[in-house]
Amino acid sequence: MKYDIIIIGGGAAGFFAAINAAELDPNAKILILERGKEVLTKVRISGGGRCNVTHAEFTPSELIKKYPRGEKELRGPFHSFMTGDTIAWFEERGIELKIEEDGRMFPVSDSSETIIDCFLSETQRLGIEILKNHSVQNITSENEQWLINTNNGDFSAEKLLVATGSNPKIWKLLEGLGHQMETAVPSLFTFNIKDERIKELPGVATFASVKIPEINMEDEGPLLITHWGLSGPAILKLSAWGARELNELSYKFEIQVNWLANQNSEEILEQLLELKLKHAKQQLTKYAQFDLPKRLWKSLVLASGISETDIWADINKKQLVTLSEQLTKSEFSVDGKSTFKEEFVTAGGIKLNEVNFKTFESKLQKNLYFAGEVLNIDAITGGFNFQNAWTGGYLAAKAMTSLD
């Protein structure tokens, strides 16, 4: 069975590419091959079932900073298709996106089904064929045609887009075509920590900065204490930027938390000495200081060797020094990681120097294109991973349907 374009993978990048290719060239015969019994499964569960479609960041030079892998390569593509284009694309199809306080964008329906319904009705309207339960087993080329063997039959096409995400089986086939792959490691995970100071505090959140001295990385943002350890944007960003290094450390390392983000221990000590004078007769644990959540403040006070009933006047300088250090450089031992259920990705995939980012075509094989997570591109949480899928899908579609 012969097609103009075959897309392997019925996920975000595959559908976006298929729909755009069909619109750009209505005569093109297009097929999506999907190994699962359903398409768009990740879109369905994305963003906790709400699908964080993109992010309200409209400057390419700022947007690329969200990609630990792909920062340099996505600069050009984002000048051609980025967040604003995504919003317009869905709007043209009757889907309005809303912006949340932190910049994440969701369909106003708050349901990923809205996105799936749109993709399915568009593929139907445009006559794109979708074959589920078709797992690609082999890819070869002959007489400028790609031959695709699946567990359910063979197909051929002049142009091939691989949009299979982080599926290692396909990676092997791509290696067979001469591509080199960066090995897969998880990104966007939370840190497992067992520690008395946070044991009783699940649900407590504050703005903090977190440092991993061993790999010389630091980030800041909202930090959330969970039953398993620490989570929230500050941790997720570190897990993405340090994905490879933390994997090499087998997820065992020390972190330093500054619960007061931008202030250092010397500044805090001075303020503690002032508080001692001001509130001499007051119990330390009675009122939280520095806008910290009360339960967290109390826990850090107790961890500094101060008892629950101690009043400020009773506290000596050494105890205040310890408290200033607990507040600004609390050390925790991380032992393992947990999955962040809202969004997680895999770092790794096709080496980026083997891809032409004007067209998303392979530099090694003519008429072979890639989009989405199959490339060694991934982002921090917030809708940026889908934006990579939309941008790559769109530019590959444009290239596959251009005449030259």
Ligand X SMILES: Cc1cc2nc3c(=O)[nH]c(=O)nc-3n(C[C@H](O)[C@H](O)[C@H](O)COP(=O)(O)OP(=O)(O)OC[C@H]3O[C@@H](n4cnc5c(N)ncnc54)[C@H](O)[C@@H]3O)c2cc1C
Q: Which residues of the shown chain bind ligand X in the complex (CB under 6 A)?
A: 8-14, 33-36, 41-42, 45-47, 51-52, 135-136, 163-165, 167, 169-170, 343-345, 372-374, 383-386, 389
**SS3 at position 375:** strand
Q: How far is the CB of 254 from ligand X (least distance, A)?
A: 28
Q: Where does residue 178 fall: left (phi above 0), alpha (psi -120 to 50 degrees), or beta otherwise?
A: left
**Torsion on CA atoms 78, 81, 82, 87, rounded to nearest 10:** 170
CB nearer to ligand X: give 135 or 263.
135
CB nearer to ligand X: give 64 or 255.
64
**Among 217, 169, 186, CA closest to 378:** 186
CB nearer to ligand X: give 234 or 350.
350
Both tokens assigned to 309:
């009933």
Using CB atoms, what's the residue nearest to ligand X? 11
Determine the longest span between alpha carbons in the chain, in angstroms: 88
Query: How many whole angstroms separate alpha carbon 17 and alpha carbon 162?
Result: 10
Q: How far is the CB of 340 from ligand X (least distance, A)?
A: 8
* φ, ψ at 47 (rounded to 5°): 50, 40
**Contact at 8 Å (CB) between 104 and 87?**
no
Q: How far is the CB of 14 from ligand X (least distance, A)?
A: 5
Both tokens assigned to 65:
């900073």
Helix, strand, coil percentages in the chain from 3-state DSSP, rounded to 5: 40, 25, 35
* φ, ψ at 356 (rounded to 5°): -90, 110
Which residue type sits at 252? K
Q: How far is the CB of 9 from ligand X (least distance, A)?
A: 3
Q: How far is the CB of 278 from ligand X (least distance, A)?
A: 47
Q: How far is the CB of 267 from ligand X (least distance, A)?
A: 38
CB nearer to ligand X: give 47 or 348.
47
CB nearer to ligand X: give 70 or 221.
70
**Contact at 8 Å (CB) between 346 and 166?**
yes
CB nearer to ligand X: give 300 or 371.
371
CB nearer to ligand X: give 255 or 389.
389
Q: How far is the CB of 398 from ligand X (least distance, A)?
A: 17
